[in-house]
Amino acid sequence: MTDQPAPDAAYDPAYDRDRLTDWMVENDVAHVTHDHPAVFRVEEGLELKAALPGAHTKNLFLKDQKGRLWLISARQDTVIDLKRAAGVIGAAKLSFGNETLMWETLGVRPGSVTALGLINDTDRRVTFVLDQRLWDADIVNFHPLTNTATTALSQSAFRRALELLGREPIVVDFGALA
């Protein structure tokens, strides 16, 4: 992402890992967080994830030709065809969103993109798309706004968090698009 503008240093997201954790505790969103070395790509954390139960995720921060922002959260092994996905979710041509937009909307840096970042999207600029396999998983694992930890949530805790945030995902069976 060297050709992307640097994040605006003046922007300070409302939530970081500690404040997110406090929010989950205050709202009875049961979770377990495991610290680990920084992981920037799905492939880097495979051994680490093997020791943690549940569905592990990959998260794509995207922008379409009309300027709409999208967050796709899918199981780590899901193949996502952006051309086909765009048609299914009602987006114009999709491309990766830049680091500045990611920081301003989700309060995360590249490598730390997560559905839990929606807590920082108070203006609801980002449309959330969720892989059907995550919607059906007993346990889902996301970064807690940093890529040096993984937070495990039961499906009921994850849905509670989404409800508290006022977010209803567009659930897509990406396997059917392949």
| Tens digit of each residue's pLDDT (9 = 90 or more) over 62-88 | 999 999 999 999 999 999 999 999 999
* Triad 152, 135, 63: Cα angle to 5°: 95
Mean pLDDT of 122-144: 97
Token match 């954390």: residue?
Answer: 45
| Contact between 163 and 125 (Cβ < 8 Å) | no
12-35: pLDDT as tens digits: 788 999 999 999 999 999 999 999
**Residue 100: both structure tokens together:** 């500045």
Mean confidence (pLDDT) of the chain:
89
Q: What distance in Å separates the CA atoms of residue 60 and residue 136, rounded to the nearest whole number? A: 19
State the number of CA atoms in the 13 A half-sphere of 95 facing the CB. Answer: 7
Check residue 6 and give its pLDDT.
Answer: 46
What amino acid occupies position 166?
A: G
